[in-house]
Amino acid sequence: MPEVQEKKHTNALAQETSPYLLQHAHNPVDWLPWGEVAFERARKEQKPIFLSIGYSTCHWCHVMERESFESEEVAAVLNEQFVCVKVDREERPDVDLTYMTYAQAVNGGGGWPLSVWLTPELKPFFAGTYFPPEDRGGRMGFKSLCLKIVEVWKDEREGVLERSAASMQKLQEHLDDEQRHHEAAYEEVTRKVYDDIAGSFDYHEGGFSGAPKFPRPSTLLVLWRLKAYLDSKKEESDASWSAAMAKTTLMHMAKGGMHDQLGGGFHRYSVDGYWHIPHYEKMLYDQGQLLTAYLEGYQHLDVGYFAEVAKDIIGYCNRDLRHPDGGYYSAEDADSYIDDTRTEKREGFFYVWKAAEIDDLLGKEEGSIFRYAFGARRDGNARPESDPHGELTGTNTLFRAYTVKKTAEFFKLEPEKVEDIITRGIKVLLEARGKRQHPHLDDKVLTAWNGLMISGLAKAANVLGDKAHLESAKKCAQFIFDKLSNNGRELRRSWREGASTVPAFAPDYAMLIQALLDLYEASFEIKWLKWAATLQDEFDAKCGDPEKGGYFSVSKSIPNSVLQVKEDYDSAEPSPNSVAALNLLRLGKMLADDTYRAKAEKILKLFGHSLSKSPFSVPVMVCALDFMQHGEMEIVLAGSPGEAGFDSLAAEVRKRYLPHAVILHADGGEGQQFLSMKNEALGAMKPVGGKAAVYVCRNRACQAPVTTVEALAKVLEPTPAA
């Protein structure tokens, strides 16, 4: 057994629970966590704060750590001249959002690691991202930059303090000015978002940009709503093209290297425009959103392959990301050790294959067939533009280069034979891969990201008809209730070997409330809807702006906040305001309470300029606007699970794509009593003639109840737009 070496350095981060902070606990840099200890020291010693923000699966964060933060020489400068603070952006999205907003404003862009220098009053005065350790190619190195900042701080301190305070005031004024109320016209927004998406679409490979190419699941969600709307308007050409853009993108992503062809799940993004070579980290928020996107694709197109992709996302998450009690971990790293010595890490090493390795495992004949199908070449399959530093030379990232049919034709074999070879090959290679050094697992449980996963699982239970997925969703929600709240209240942001002291932020409330609404519709357990309503009240109190509307990303009670931001951009994660608008509209329909709708309308007016000018950047908010325009359908199932006809009626409702409906349950008991407190009509809905019945209501007028699947199918058919 190898001898465990005593660490030369240990700093204050050793007492933290964040995996990212713990990664830096033995740097020679005297890191402190974000908090009053660091701030008081900066004020007392009148030193600037060097703030470094990253996350545990960030490749360039690892690079900067190796090059600079593990350097005794660099650490000596940092420790002498600055108060050094490390932040896990996933644990403290408030800190990240504040200083990333500043970095983007002054530099025109940002990323991680985020490097920011602050005054002792926490006002930023310089920001960047990754810096090389030494001056390189005309770019100032990190050490030189630190020394230059020290010089400026000593010689121009008063000016730095004045400029930093003024810049933050101007930035706040700019943010406030951007959010002046404007009523976005639905027709104009719909046309513009369609044109913007179509204009950015890659006709050949799918996706909505060149390299690097991101999955953008929220764009896929709005495409299906566009299709439904255009169908209702009898605009068949544009409706078909909406579906084609979504289908092409889903298909190319699934067959590409961004999709783990052996173990399931998706990597973060593709570094090229072909979906071949990914950035190899895997994030829970991608899995949850892409799960929903593939299920909606399956609902629309009945492409069985999309259902299989959805199942393998769930399989991956349950196998590699699930806590024994049901919550889901955050991410897996892109980098992994190249051998058992655990001395060198390389991006993607866990996932890539040399051609000879495949042949050794499968035999030369079957290996060549497998390699042909998955695009694996003897000289490797990473194109130079996909691998500019040559790190993947001679290796292969597996992607579906050829179908079973094409492969069978090339080798003059029966398709069934090729299918067997591919199935066996996947099993053998996955087993062999499991013996490699596994990438680092970030095993903290984040409320917001688990909310996205619960929504995906609830939809999977509905669309695929598999109760196991519903049980996984319920178990995850219970995990959050038990470990990340105080009996459903005082929601927390993260958990790892105990709940963090950090309270929940706007994304946590928005994504979890959405998840609970989805879980109620999938299970008809009233406790989830009640909890959603409770959390919405707490969200309003902690983050809401009752005067102007919308939600600040940070609770108004959190100290040391130097910028108040209301997010609207739907990026890798949907914005909390976009999701909140949709949640409020759904709650308003479910609970027959127009105060929820009024709050949603305020959000949509607050971000009306974004909706009108750049709807492509706020696709989830476009979905909320679409729901407000068309969301007038209530579907009420009366009866009990297991009763005559109930389960088949429920299955017929749940399998359908119904973006403008809420689904409720008149159970004759506690749930119906709760729902009918403000919705008297629902209180009277009962089974008919001893049979389960479905009441479909549009625009507050209900049709006669139906008791058969055939009759239900007819009343659920979409109605043409006026």
Mean pLDDT over residues 117-122, rounded?
Answer: 97
Show Cβ contacts of residue 195 under 8 Å, excluding neighbours closer than 6 positions. Answer: none
Last residue of a domain, one of 424, 442, 460: 442
Mean pLDDT over residues 381-400, rounded?
Answer: 93
Task: Report yes or no on 542 lying in a domain.
Answer: no
163 and 250 share a domain? no
pLDDT, position 226 = 96
264 and 117 share a domain? no
The pLDDT tens digits for 194-205 are 999 999 999 999
pTM for the model stands at 0.95
374 and 271 share a domain? yes
The closest alpha carbon to 267, from 57, 53, 56, belongs to: 57
Listed range (10-24, 189-203, 660-674, 708-722) with the worst mean pLDDT: 708-722
Above pLDDT 90, what percent of the chain? 88
Decide if 258 contacts 270 (C-beta within 8 A). yes
Which token pair is 547? 């005067």
pLDDT, position 177 = 82
Tell me how many domains the chain contains: 3
423 and 308 share a domain? yes
Mean pLDDT over residues 237-256, rounded?
Answer: 98
Mean pLDDT over residues 571-588, rounded?
Answer: 97
The angle formed by the CA atoms of residues 91, 94 and 98, to the nearest 5 degrees, is 135
250 and 332 share a domain? yes
Mean pLDDT over residues 21-34, rounded?
Answer: 98
Q: What is the DSSP string of 423-436?
A: HHHHHHHHHHHTTS
| Res 674 pLDDT > 90 | yes
Cα(first)–Cα(last) distance of the chain, in Å?
A: 75
Residue range(s) defining the domain that contains residue 386: 216-225+233-442
pLDDT, position 628 = 96
Last residue of a domain, one of 442, 476, 505: 442
The pLDDT tens digits for 539-567 are 999 999 999 999 999 887 788 888 999 99
**d(Cα 209, Cα 200) in Å, to the nearest integer?**
6
Task: Report yes or no on 547 lying in a domain.
Answer: no
DSSP 8-state class, residue 553: S
Higher pLDDT, 557 or 394: 394
**488: burial class by Cβ within 10 Å (0-12, 13-18, 19+)?**
middle
pLDDT, position 500 = 81
337 and 254 share a domain? yes
| Residue whose tokens read 């703030």 | 51
The closest alpha carbon to 168, from 558, 561, 569, 566, belongs to: 561
Higher pLDDT, 2 or 413: 413
Mean pLDDT over residues 649-662, rounded?
Answer: 95
Task: Report yes or no on 16 lying in a domain.
Answer: yes
355 and 267 share a domain? yes
Task: Report yes or no on 87 lying in a domain.
Answer: yes
Task: Report yes or no on 550 lying in a domain.
Answer: no
The angle formed by the CA atoms of residues 64, 66 and 68, to the nearest 5 degrees, is 60
**d(Cα 472, Cα 671) in Å, to the nearest integer?**
22
Give the H/E segment covering residue 287. helix 284-301
| Res 306 pLDDT > 60 | yes
Give the H/E segment covering residue 145. helix 142-155
Which token pair is 99? 């200083």
164 and 247 share a domain? no
Mean pLDDT of the chain: 95
How big, in percent rounded to 5, are the helix, strand and coil portions of the chain?
50, 10, 35
Mean pLDDT over residues 34-51, rounded?
Answer: 98
Which token pair is 718? 């979409």
From residue 199, how far is each of 310, 569, 673 by CA, in Å? Answer: 28, 19, 50
pLDDT, position 7 = 82
| Res 57 pLDDT > 90 | yes
Q: Which CATH number covers residue 703?
A: 3.40.30
Last residue of a domain, one of 387, 408, 442: 442
Omega of the bond leading into 113 within 30 degrees of 0 (cis): yes
| Res 388 pLDDT > 90 | no
**d(Cα 438, Cα 225) in Å, to the nearest integer?**
40
289 and 396 share a domain? yes
Q: How confident is the model at residue 699 (pLDDT cuts 50, 70, 90)?
A: confident
The closest alpha carbon to 638, from 687, 683, 684, belongs to: 687
256 and 147 share a domain? no
The pLDDT tens digits for 583-633 are 999 999 999 999 999 999 999 999 999 999 999 999 999 999 999 999 889
Amino acid at 255: K
Buried b (16+ CB within 10 A) or exposed e, 501-516: ebbbbbbbbbbbbbbb
Listed range (70-74, 354-358, 538-542, 716-720) with the worst mean pLDDT: 716-720
The closest alpha carbon to 293, from 92, 50, 574, belongs to: 574
| Res 5 pLDDT > 80 | no
Task: Report yes or no on 434 lying in a domain.
Answer: yes
**316: burial class by Cβ within 10 Å (0-12, 13-18, 19+)?**
buried
In DSSP terms, 322 is beta-bridged to 328
Task: Report yes or no on 509 lying in a domain.
Answer: no
Decide if 65 contacts 57 (C-beta within 8 A). no
The pLDDT tens digits for 398-443 are 999 999 999 999 999 999 999 999 999 999 999 999 999 999 999 9
pLDDT, position 301 = 94
Q: Which CATH number covers residue 135?
A: 3.40.30.10
The closest alpha carbon to 106, from 125, 93, 122, belongs to: 125
The closest alpha carbon to 515, from 498, 496, 491, belongs to: 491
| Res 1 pLDDT > 50 | no
Task: Report yes or no on 525 lying in a domain.
Answer: no
265 and 155 share a domain? no
Which token pair is 17? 């629970």
Q: How confident is the model at residue 721 (pLDDT cuts 50, 70, 90)?
A: low
The closest alpha carbon to 220, from 163, 278, 290, 268, belongs to: 290
281 and 143 share a domain? no
